[in-house]
Amino acid sequence: MSEDVVRSVDSGTLMRELARRGIDVGNEATKPRQSHEVGSLRPKTAESDARAAALDAALERLGVAGGAALLEGPPLKSYNSWVRPRDGGGGQQTTENAAHQIAFLQRHELARRETHLRNTDDAARRRATAGLEPHDIVLVLDNVRSAENVGSVFRTADAARCRELVTCGFTPNPLSTSKISKTAFGAETAVPSRHFDSTLEAVRYAKRDLDCVVWALETVDGAVAYTEAPLPSPGTKKGVALIFGNEVTGVDMSVLDHVDAVVQIPTYGTKNSINLACCAAIVTYDILRRWGTTVPLSS
């Protein structure tokens, strides 16, 4: 694996995932030089517990529960940043000001999530009213790092009218971050989605609950071309779930033992690499082609 590639996507979460998979990136050239890894909590200071108690009390006066009760994303991030300040002190913000900021972020995040769920329900009703049945394709994202990639895959899922998009592990999802909307352009509310802590849970869900054949997109020995992998016949009510892995490490090797086929997109250059969102579009639309699916422009 290229050290430059690892550095270009350096985050605490990704580095821990690399270590979990036994991939050694521990030489001095790739070690982060900052005092803590991006995405991880700063170490507690001697004042952290007292700061947390004071901040929780201030939040309670504003009618907001603090600590672990805060929503993930901006509210919890702001809380942890104030409780665990950078080296050199806690900055100039008072406890009361920090509490007001966090309370605002909590209300904003709640409203954002409620709006997302409401828009998703509205989109489902519009599809049902228009008689737009989804195609039996489920896209599964295995520990994908980039919210921009996730947003792009949502757009593909909407354009192809996929049944569902499933996010796994640390993959950004519509309820965890608003960054997806930058590239999804609203598609994140048009496509049903759910999140699993592990990709193996998602595989079991796709097979058991959705009756899907499961493919993993990965370049390994024995992988077959995506155009040649066996497909269920259209109309059999058996769908296809496509797993796309992390931008650096790919699909978790432990997942490959539980899929029905490992497929790949042939490459003919020197980098042997295609953007994840592009891969999703290529394979999704080829399945529709092989099924003989035609979508009128009026749809």
Per residue in 219-259, pLDDT tens? 888 999 999 999 988 767 689 999 999 998 999 999 999 99
Asked if 196 and 84 sit in the same domain, the reply is no
Give the residue among 140, 162, 160 at the shortest CA–CA distance from 150: 140
Note whether 34 and 71 are same-domain residues. no
Total domain count for the chain?
3
**pLDDT tens track for 130-166:** 667 889 999 999 999 999 999 999 999 999 999 999 9
With respect to residue 107, please indicate whether it lies within any of the assigned structural domains. Answer: yes
The answer to whether residues 207 and 253 belong to one domain is: yes
pLDDT, residue 1, reads: 43
CATH code for position 177: 3.40.1280.10
Could you tell me the two tokens for 45?
């200071």
C-alpha–C-alpha distance, residues 58 and 141, integer Å = 39
pLDDT of residue 290: 92
CA distance 192 to 163: 7
What stretches of the chain adopt beta strand conformation (E)?
Answer: 135-142, 162-168, 193-196, 212-217, 224-225, 239-244, 261-264
Name the DSSP class of 273. Answer: -
CA distance 189 to 150: 13
State the pLDDT at residue 26: 55
Same domain, 92 and 14: no
- For residues 165 and 266, state if they share a domain: yes
Contact 196, 168 (CB under 8 A): yes
- Is residue 298 one of the residues assigned to a domain? no
Residue 43 has a pLDDT of 85
Q: Which of 105, 132, 159 is the last residue of a domain?
A: 132
pLDDT at 9: 46
In a domain, 297, yes or no: no
Would 296 be classed as within a structural domain? no
Asked whether residue 169 falls in the same domain as residue 278, the answer is: yes
| Domain contains 299 | no
Alpha-helical (H) ranges within 62-159 are 74-83, 95-130, 147-159
The DSSP code for 23 is: -
Q: Residue 20 sits in which domain range?
A: 1-39
- pTM over 0.85? The answer is no
On whether both 99 and 171 belong to a single domain, the answer is no
Q: What is the pLDDT of residue 123?
A: 66
Q: Where a domain ends, among 103, 132, 161?
A: 132
User: 199 and 235 in one domain?
Assistant: yes
Q: Are residues 112 and 141 in the same domain?
A: no
In the chain (299 residues long), the average pLDDT of successive 10-residue segments reads: 42 65 56 49 85 89 87 84 75 83 82 72 67 88 94 94 94 84 84 94 96 94 93 81 94 94 92 91 95 59
> Is residue 152 situated within a structural domain?
yes
Q: How far is CA 241 from CA 125, 212, 253, 259, 269, in A?
A: 24, 6, 17, 10, 28
Residues 182 and 215 in one domain: yes
Q: Same domain for 95 and 152?
A: no
The reported pLDDT for the residue numbered 142 is 96
Residues 35 and 183 in one domain: no
